[in-house]
A and B are shown apart, each in its own frame.
Chain A
Amino acid sequence: MPSPTDAEIFTRWANTEAPLLPILHAFHDRDGFLGEKAIHAISEALRTPIADLYGTVTFYHHFAQQAPGQSAPRVCTGPICKLKGADALLDAMRGEGATPMACSGRCDDPVPVLKGHQTLVACDGQMTPWYSPIPIPNPGGLEECVFASIREPDRGTHDGYRRTGGYLGLEKALATDPAAVRQTISDSGLAGRGGAGFPTGRKWDAVAEDPRGPKTIVCNADEGEPGCFKDRTLMDLDPHAVIEGMAIAAHATGATRGFIYLRYEYPETAQILERALKEARATGLLGGQTGFDLWVRRGGGAYICGEETSLLNSLEGKHPFPRNRPPFPVTHGYENLPTVVNNVETLASVPPILSNGADWYRQLGTGEHAGTKVISLSGDVLRPGNYEVPLGLPLSKLLHEWAGGVPEGRAIQAVTMAGLSGGFLAREGLDVTLDEPSIRAQGSFLGAGGIMVLDDSRDMVAVAHSAMEFFAHESCGKCFPCRIGTARLTERLGSGGPASFESWREEVDDIGSTMKATSACGLGMAAPLITESLARWFPDQVETHLNSTTS
C-alpha cells in the first residue's frame, strides 16, 4: 500500500469524531515520527494553535519527534519485567535504538518488546510475535461471568461469538425498556472494574436522565496500571463482548456514539477490535438503523489517560491534564455532554448479566459481595495469568490453590494491590479476602485487580523505587503535590534524601500525607501508598537501604 499523502490523511480523518489522535497516528505510522512539517500541517488542518499541538504531542511517551522513531524497539521495564531481566535485554538491544517503556500490560508473558505494530518476545534467542494466552480455568470449576465462554473456539469472530450465546443479551436489551435494562444492571450490583468501583447502574441512570445530547459511551481500554493485563485478554479473545456491552449501554442511556480508548501498547488488539467492529457493522449490530456507532481511538502512551477526564481531554485533542470535578463525565463528558465512561471488564460483564439476570450475577460473589472480578496475577507465582474470582475469595486461596504458590524453596514476601496503586501487603496483611472492604481495612485497595507477587528473594526498596519511578514518569504535571512529590519520593527510594531513618520517615510521611490529601487526581493520591506500605511492612529493609547508600 503506498503511503498516504497529507491530503489523503485529512480527507480520511478531519471530519470524523475525535480526529486528532487518528491523525497523529496516521502521520506517525507514515513517517515514523511526528516532525515539524507534520505538526505544521496538522495544526493548519485542524485549526489548532501550533504551540498547543506541539506541547500535547510531547506529552505522549510513544510519539517520536525524530527518526528512528516508531521503528525503534521499546522494551518493557515495568516492575515484573525488571525482575525478569528487562534491563539486560534493553542493554542488549540498545544497538538497535531500543528505549524503555513503562509496564506494557503483559506481566504474565516473557519481557515484551514493542516494535512498530508488533509485540515480540525473546524466545530461544529469536524475537517472535506473541499473542494473549487463554486464561487458565480455575481449579474448583467455579462459575465465571466474563470468562465463561472465552475459551470457546472462534469466540473472537462474530459467528463464533453468536454460536456461544453472544448478542443474546443485546437482543434481550433491545426488546426491553431502557429504564428496565438499567434497573437490571443496578440490581446485579455491578460496580466499576476500572479501579474506582462506582455502581454502574447509577452511572447509566445519570447519563440517561440528563436531557442533553448527543450522548457518548466510552470504553476505557487504556489499561496503564502496571500489573494489569485483563482488559487486553478480554478484548483479544472476546472483542464482541465489549462491543455488545457498549451497544447495551447505548440503548440503556440513549447514547448515539461510542469510543474504545485503547492504550498505544496494544497494537494487535487494535486490529482485532477493528475486525470485530467491521463484522458488527456488516451484520447490522452497529451503525445505520441501530442509531449507535463506535470507533477505536488509540492513545499515545500515557498512564494518566486512563483517568477518565484526562482520557476525555485526550479524545477531544486537548492537553491530557485531568479536568476539575465536579462536574463529572456523566453530565460533562465528551464535548461537555453526558458520557458513560466504563472499563472494558465492566462492559464485558453486561451481556451475560442481561442474558442470565441480575440475581445470577449477584450470587457469583461470596456472601454479600456481588459478582466476580478478574485478577491479573504476575510475578513470583507458578501460574501467572488472569483469573476470574468470586468477590470475597481469600487471597491465599488464589495464590496457592489457583496459581500454584511461589516457586519451590521460596516464601511470599509481599504482594502489590491494584497493580501498583494499592501499595504492598505483607505478613498478616495477606490474610485478606478479594473485595474492597477487606483490603481497604489494610490501608490498600483492590482497584483494577492487578496483583504482583514478590517472594522473599526480592529487594523491596528496589521494587518500591521502580514503582515510584513509574508514578513520577507518568505524573501529568498539572498539580504541585504529585509533580514534585513523586520526584522527591523517587529520590528518597534511590540514593537521595536524608540518611537517617527518622528524618527519612518524617520527610516521606509529610510528602505522602500531603499528596494523599491534596492531589488533583487518583495518581497523586495513590502513589504514596507505595512508601507508606513499604515503611509499614519493611522498615528494616529501608534502614538497610539508607545505611548502604550513605556508607
Chain B
Amino acid sequence: MIQQGQEEPAAIPTVNIDGANVPFTEGETLYEICSRQKKDVPTLCYDPRLDPFGGCRLCVVELEGARNPVASCTTRATAGMKVRTKTEAIENHRRTLLELVVSENRQVEVDELAGYASQELKILVERYDANRGRFQGKQSGQSRDDDDNPFILRDYDQCISCYRCVRVCAEQEGDHAISVMNRGFDTRITTEFNGLLRDSDCTFCGQCVQTCPTGALADKKALKHVDVPGKIEKTRSVCPYCGVGCSVDLLSKGDKLVGVLPAMDGPANEGALCVKGQFAFGFVQHDDRLKTPMVRDEDGKLHATSWDNALDRAAEGLRAVVERHGREALYAIASGRAPHEAAYTMQKMMRAGWGLNHIDNCSRA
C-alpha cells in the first residue's frame, strides 16, 4: 500500500500474457516477452538475430481488441495489452499451418548433421501431430543438384520459403548473395540469374545453412558422416583460424570430428562463422597429417625422428640464429591449423624466452 507522503513509484508498463502481468521494456515484441516467459510459442521464420519478418504466422497470438490474431514476432508490446498464447483456436490454426507446410515438403525428417536449426520443422510437426497427409497437392521448390560446390547442399525440395537464409545473408553477412525469385507458390531461393553459388557473391560462410529450419540448405561436409556410428557429441571450442575468437561447437562421433556448429552464444561471433571456421576442419583428421616430428638431414630430405632429437635440432637452430644476428632477428608465426595449446606455447617461448613480441598467426579472416 502506498503510504501518505510517499511518492507513487513510476508505474512499470506491463502486458498481460495468459493472465499474468509481465513487465516489458520499450521496443520489445510480444514474442520476445513470451519467450522470456517460457511460453514456447512456435515459429519457423524467426531467428532472434534477424529483423522479425512475419512470414510463417505460427507465432500468432490472440490480442484482446484485435479482429484477427496478431503475429507476436512483429507486434511490439504496448502497456495494457492482453494476450493469449495458446487458445484452442490459435492451436488449431498452428496445426493447419503446419499441415499445409508438410503438404509441400517432401521430407520432414532430416539428419541433425544438416545444420544447427535443421530439426525445427520436424520438432513442430511432431508436437502438433501435423503429419496426417492432409492438403495434398503440388510441391514447391526445386533442388539444385547441379550446384557441385563442396560445402552447401541446396536441396530446395525441402524449402518452405521462410527466407531466413536470404535474410541472414543480407542482414548478418552483408553479402546479399541469395534472394527470392518469382512469387506465391513459385517463389524460389536464387542467386543472381539463378546460377551456382560459386558464381555469386557467396563467401560460403554457411550462415544460411545454420539458420535453415528444414535442412533444405545443409552442410555437405558434415553429412558425409551420417553413417559413422555413434551419438553426436558437442564440444565447445574456439576457432583457431584467426584472432577474432569465434566460439564453435565441435561435433564428434566417437573420436571422429564430424562437423562444426557456430555457437549462438559465442561472445565474439554470436553465431557467425566464416568459411574456414565453418567448413575447413578436414585437416584435423586428414591422412596426410604428420604424426611424428620430421627433420631435414644432410641429404636435403625430411626424415621422421624422435621428439627429443627434433627439439634439440630446433633449439640448436634458434641458438645459432641468435648468436649470429641477435635475438631481434627472431620472428614466430603460429599456424591457424595448430591447436591452441601450441599457439600459446609459441608465444610464451617468444615473449618469456627471448623477451620478444615478434609473433603472429598465419590466418587472416
* Binary contact readout B87-105 vs A (1 if CB under 8 angstroms, 0 otherwise): 0010011001100110110
| Binary per-residue interface labels of chain A (513-526) against chain B in the complex, 1 for a CB within 8 Å, 0 otherwise | 11011111000010
Assembled-state Cα–Cα distance A52/B54 (Å): 19
In the bound complex, residues from chain B placing their C-beta under 8 Å from that of A52 are 170, 176, 179
Q: Which of B131-139, B149-157, B327-335 contacts A (4 or more CB under 8 A)?
A: B131-139
Known: A51-B179, A54-B181, A483-B184. A510 touches B138 (CB 8 A): no
With both beta carbons as reference points, the residue of chain B lying nearest to A481 in the complex is identified as B57
Q: Is B200 an interface residue (CB 8 A)?
A: yes
Given A475-B183, A491-B138, A496-B136, is A51 in contact with B192 using a C-beta cutoff of 8 Å?
A: yes
Q: How near does chain B come to A481, taking the closest CB pair, in angstroms?
A: 6
Q: Is B283 an interface residue (CB 8 A)?
A: no
Complex Cα distance A56/B134, Å?
Answer: 33
Q: How far does the alpha carbon of A179 sit from the alpha carbon of B200 in the complex, in Å? A: 53
Q: What is the bound-complex CA distance between A58 and B180, given in angstroms?
A: 9
> A481 contacts B97, CB within 8 Å?
yes
Give the complex CA separation of A324 and B72 in angstroms. 11
Q: For residue B192, which residues in chain A have a CB less than 8 angstroms away from its CB?
A: 39, 50-51, 54
Asked if A517 and B185 sit within 8 Å, CB to CB, the answer is no
Kindly state whether residue B3 has any CB partner on chain A within 8 Å: no
- Chain B residues, Cβ within 8 Å of A497: 136-137
- Give B76-119 interface residues, CB cut-off 8 Å to A: 76, 89, 92-93, 96-97, 100-101, 103-104
Measured between beta carbons, the chain A residues less than 8 angstroms from B186 are 477
- How far, in angstroms, from A477 to B97 measured CA to CA in the complex? 14
Cα(A280)–Cα(B185), bound, Å: 44
Contact B71 A511 (CB under 8 A): no
Q: Say which residue of A39, A476, A514 sits within 8 Å of B97 (CB atoms).
A: A514
Determine if A507 and B135 form an interchain contact, defined as CB atoms under 8 angstroms apart. yes
Q: Is B218 an interface residue (CB 8 A)?
A: no
Contact present for B137 and A491 (CB under 8 Å): yes
A496 touches B180 (CB 8 A): no
What residues of A have a CB within 8 angstroms of the CB of B89 in the complex?
Answer: 517
Q: Is B147 at the interface (CB under 8 A from chain A)?
A: no
Chain A, interface size: which category?
35 or more
Instruction: Report chain A residues within 8 Å CB of B129.
Output: none
| Contact, CB under 8 Å: A481 / B100 | yes
Q: By the criterion CB–CB under 8 Å, are B185 and A324 in contact?
A: no
Asked if residues A486 and B184 are in contact (CB atoms below 8 Å), the reply is yes
A462 to B74, CA, bound (A): 38
| Chain B 55-74 interface mask (CB, 8 Å, partner A; 1/0) | 11110100000001101001
Known: A486-B185, A488-B100, A518-B97. A480 touches B136 (CB 8 A): no
Which residues of chain B have C-beta atoms less than 8 A from A59's C-beta?
181-183
- Quick one: closest B residue to A473, CB to CB? B184
**How far apart are the CA atoms of A265 and B58 in the complex, in Å?**
36
Q: Which of A469-483 contact B (CB under 8 A)?
A: 472-481, 483
- In the complex, how many angstroms separate the beta carbon of B110 from the nearest chain A beta carbon? 19
Query: How far is A8 from B184 in the complex, measured between Cα atoms in Å?
Result: 35
CA of A412 to CA of B321 in the docked complex: distance in angstroms? 103
Which of B69, B93, B103, B191 touches A484 (beta carbons < 8 Å)? B103
Min CB–CB distance B137 → chain A (angstroms): 4
Q: Enumerate chain A interface residues (CB-CB to B < 8 A).
A: 36, 39, 49-52, 54-56, 58-59, 302, 304, 319, 324, 326, 472-481, 483-488, 491, 496-497, 507, 510-511, 513-514, 516-520, 525
Smallest CB-CB A-B distances: 3 pairs: A49-B176, A55-B179, A477-B187
